[in-house]
Structure 1
Amino acid sequence: MSTVSTHIMFQGQAADALALYASIFPNFKTLAREDYAEGDLAPEGTVKLATIDFNGAILQVIDSPVPHAFDFTPSMSLFVDCADEAELTYAFEVLSEGGEVMMPLDNYGFSKRFGWCRDRFGLSWQINLPA
């Protein structure tokens, strides 16, 4: 085995999601991106494949070329340890806007503060401030 990465499949919203995540996290960097062209299987301009370096974790992000009956599940989340309270609060507020708060920011006993939300694209995030 040479690599393991997280694969995230959107249904037409990958570009908007990537722009949002990059606006929140300065260490969310696009290493490579190819979009679908006119005549491809998916609508022109949607993401065929983007490779992201998210603070050293590699993410493979696509827009599915075919519709699926399923979407994201909260049983799989991106877990982010933040450096300070301001970073934690900002990330959580922006990610949860238009989405769903599953656990509001609070001290649940395992870290200083923690929150769990689903963003407006359906992706689940666990945002943590370690003890």
Structure 2
Amino acid sequence: MADLQKLTPFLMFQKGDAEAAMTFYTGLFADGEVLVLERFGAGEPGAEGTVKQGVIRLGEQQVRLFDSPQAHDFDFTPSMSLFVVCESAEEQQKLWSALSDGGAPLMPLGDYGFGPFGWTNDRFGVSWQLSLG
């Protein structure tokens, strides 16, 4: 039961992109890993083969993902973002390049008076803030 009490970001995809996002995100981080990947089967509420439950690890953070079988009038918003403290300028630039490619930069990578920082929505609509620690 202890695992149920952890605070874990949960990303709900509406276009069947959860598995692609899992692969993309775990490929960006050197220690990224898919921990759980369970797909909807025939006769279940979601489209067969889409993600029923997914869990990835990025650094020390677990993130849950799934493909919603229900359509919603809402999607991702920058008011909720994943904040990453990068260990080097090279890591920050690598993540920025990958996450902003096909996405929508909100604050281009630059110095805003509190150090190198960038904020972008990625190609899936998930919002990321990248800070240099």
How many residue pairs align between the two structures?
129
Matched, 1:83 2:87: yes
- Show the counterpart of 1:64: 68
Residue 81 of structure 2 aligns to which amino acid in structure 1?
S
Query: How far apart are residue 28 of structure 1 and its match?
Result: 2.0
Instruction: Give 1:6's match in structure 2, choosing from 1, 9, 12.
Output: 9
- Show the counterpart of 2:129: 126
Where does structure 2 lack aligned partners over 5 or more consecutive residues?
Answer: none
Deviation string 1:63-90 (CA, Å, 9 cap, x unpaired) is 1111111100101000011111111111
Cα distance in 2 for residues equivalent to 1:20 and 1:32:
15
- Show the counterpart of 1:53: 57
Query: How far apart are residue 94 of structure 1 and its match?
Result: 0.8
What is the aligned-residue RMSD (CA, Å)? 1.3
Cα distance in 2 for residues equivalent to 1:99 and 1:53:
22
Matched, 1:100 2:104: yes
Matched, 1:24 2:28: yes
SS of 2:96 mapped into structure 1: helix
Cα distance in 2 for residues equivalent to 1:128 and 1:33:
30
Cα distance in 2 for residues equivalent to 1:67 and 1:26:
34
SS of 2:117 mapped into structure 1: strand
Query: How far apart are residue 54 of structure 1 and its match?
Result: 1.8
Percentage of pairs with the same residue: 43
Where does structure 1 lack aligned partners over 5 or more consecutive residues?
Answer: none
Deviating beyond 3 angstroms after TM superposition, the runs of 4 or more aligned structure 1 residues are none
Instruction: Give the conservation status (yes or no) of the 8 Å contact 2:26–2:58.
Output: no
Query: How far apart are residue 37 of structure 1 and its match?
Result: 1.2
Cα distance in 2 for residues equivalent to 1:110 and 1:62:
35
Instruction: Give the conservation status (yes or no) of the 8 Å contact 2:108–2:118.
Output: yes
